Amino acid sequence: MFIINCKNYEEIAGEKIIKLAKIAEKISKKYKIKIAIAPPHHLIPLITKFGIIVLAQHLDDKKVGSTTGFMIPEIIKKSKIDGSIINHSEHRITESEIKNLVKRLKKLKLKTVVCVKNVSEAKKYAKINPTFIAIEPPELIGTGRAISTEKPQLITNSIIAVQSAKNSTKLLCGAGIVSAEDVSRAVELGSKGILVASGVIKAKNWESILSDFSRGLV
């Protein structure tokens, strides 16, 4: 799994996101890998027609109905998304919210990507069987210093933690990934995919960087 978190970068504003989605679809088919894009919420309808996975960047554990300004699973599913990132380091939520959101999304048959910052969180949240646990040390995010080279033991220890839950949850890793070598190293360490943001979005050539990262995954 190759997840691209677009955050709120100017590079994907408006219809620019369509270009990224088209390239992602092309690369996904070429390398026979799953590529997901998590755009700002208002851009989701622009990319659901492409052959890629579409994720929300964040969802709120609020009720259906009179909850102004919140994004909730039951409503956003109608926008034809495939799942959501949960608890990203830039949008942390409480333990109860994480557990409730995973439960609600699973009931809707949507993918869940729970972000964690350390091994203890990986072990704790793997027990609720999200689709993926994504280990991302906050201090490396956006630095260009990859988790797979700076903290390889964090990946291997997180894999052990996730496997201890004895369920279907898989581990992804992210933070500082900027090269094919970073990706290959992560896979060698046992990661089942990557979660990236600026390493792709701010690249000068999206097709080139997506191809490089995809080669590292296969």
**pTM score of the predicted model:** 0.95
> Has 58 been annotated as catalytic?
no
| Amino acid 64: pLDDT | 96
Q: What was the pLDDT predicted at 42?
A: 95
Taking residues 86-93, report their average pLDDT: 96
Q: pLDDT per residue over 193-214, tens digit each?
A: 999 999 999 999 999 999 999 9
Domain count, the chain: 1
Question: What does each C-alpha distance from 68 to 65, 71, 185 come to in angstroms?
Answer: 8, 9, 44
Q: What is the mean pLDDT of residues 171-200?
A: 93
Residue 208 structural domain:
2-217
CATH number of the CATH domain containing 118: 3.20.20.70
- Three-class SS state of 86: strand
- pLDDT grade, residue 138 (50/70/90)? confident
Q: Among 31, 45, 48, which residue's Cα sits nearest to residue 210? A: 31
Count the neighbouring beta carbons within 10 Å of the beta carbon of residue 48: 13
* pLDDT grade for 165, boundaries at 50, 70 and 90: very high
Catalytic residue among 97, 136, 150, 181: 136
The single residue of 11, 25, 41, 88 carrying the catalytic annotation is 88
What is the average pLDDT across 38-46? Answer: 97
Q: Which long-range contacts (CB under 8 A, 24 or more apart) does 147-153 make?
A: 147/173, 147/174, 147/175, 147/176, 147/177, 147/186, 148/173, 148/177, 148/182, 148/183, 148/185, 148/186, 148/189, 148/191, 149/182, 149/185, 150/176, 152/185, 152/189
Task: Provide the pLDDT for residue 94.
Answer: 98
Instruction: Say whether 91 is catalytic.
Output: no
Residue 35's pLDDT band (cuts 50, 70, 90): very high
Confidence at residue 143, expressed as pLDDT on a 0 to 100 scale = 83
